[in-house]
Amino acid sequence: MGFRMGIVGLPNVGKSTLFNALTKTAAAQAANFPFCTIEPNVGDVAVPDPRLDRLAAIAGSKQIIPTRITFVDIAGLVKGASKGEGLGNQFLANIREVDAIAHVLRCFEDGDITHVEGRVDPVADAETIETELMIADMESIEKRLANLARKLKGGDKEALDQDRLLRQALAALEAGRPARAVTVAEDDRKAWAMLQLLTAKPVLYVCNVEESAAGTGNAQSERVAKMAAEQGAASVVISARIEEEISQLDAEEAQMFLAEMGLEEAGLDRLIRAGYALLGLQTYFTVGPKEARAWTIHKGTLAPQAAGVIHGDFEKGFIRAETVAYDDYIAGNGEAGAREAGKFRVEGKTYEVKDGDVLHFLFNG
């Protein structure tokens, strides 16, 4: 189950520097984790999770395989992109293919780096991109509503649902709100997702600050955090320059560098985790002598569907799941200790998998 986060931003905000740091960091992980560049602008990055290393150490696993998130570096947006300005059409097509948007905002002053609008105002920059996406959505909805007219006359149930949802989205957009501001009923979630509206995608604002503000943020990043909170979005502070430097170092050197900068962890780790949280994802583990592996699922996933992430046959032939919570596995120093402590459980088809569960699936195959 792959999850894709598109990195967007106006020109000269540090978007490509950040993406390059991500991909170099991923390449540096290659000794332990397979890295692949699917295209020049796509990077597949391990989700940092220290729990996996602890589980592997206890089980004596020969291989550690983390779960992953894919970052897509989307061509820089300019005002007028919804009308095809710059690489507008390609930009919009690329955004449709991602699950969430990481919107890089310039929160630093630097006379040597020109801002496309001639000023540093991250909130206004966010509004520029949001406006372009909203215009593109409105145009797309109006075309689709026109195309649905004939099916509606025939009383087509699917067309009626689509028409209703499109009109809800259009009402929000015309009121100056993105489609993600619409409250969607549980029964409509699948049909809503199928609409592929640009402004329905969750947004993570990435505040690119100067190196001295990497740990604390600055006045500009505080403005962005306030805007994000008001929208129900998320924000994270990062210094793309620091991340670029870290990406050139090995693990030990990177830790020393971070300590010298007074930082507890790399900003990219925070960014990846924030993206993971934004998408409502969680992790379960499979652990054994051969490998310790992390698997990505949505929160609320039931055991058979979680098994299906490993292989479709696991879901079809699901019998039961044997599970130990992560903390119980650690406390018992493995499965045997967890069993002795009465923490080993057998769960059926209605079990909702929890973050950190260590699972073993039994199935008919």
Instruction: Provide the CATH number for the domain formed by 300-363 in this structure.
Output: 3.10.20.30
Taking domain 4-278, whether its CATH number is 3.40.50.300 is answered by yes
Residue found under tokens 């215009």: 135
Residue found under tokens 């790399």: 266
Output the CA–CA distances (angstroms, integers) from residue 212 to 51, 207, 223, 240, in the order listed: 31, 13, 18, 12
Check for a shared fold between 4-278 and 300-363. no
Within 8 A by CB and 6+ apart from 61, the residues are 55, 287, 288, 289, 290, 291, 292
Q: What confidence tens digit (pLDDT) does each residue in 229-287 have?
A: 988 889 999 999 898 888 888 888 988 999 888 888 888 888 888 888 888 899 999 99
Q: What is the pTM of this model?
A: 0.82
Which pair of tokens denotes residue 285? 């583990």
Cα 235 to Cα 361: distance, rounded to the nearest angstrom: 37
199: left (phi over 0), alpha (psi -120 to 50) or beta: alpha
Q: In the chain, what are the domain boundaries?
A: 4-278, 300-363
Q: What confidence tens digit (pLDDT) does each residue in 203-233 have?
A: 999 999 999 999 889 999 999 999 999 888 8
> Cβ(106)–Cβ(125) under 8 Å?
yes
| Predicted confidence (pLDDT) at residue 33 exceeds the cutoff of 50 | no
pLDDT band at 155 (very low <50, low <70, confident <90, very high): confident
Cα 33 to Cα 21: distance, rounded to the nearest angstrom: 17
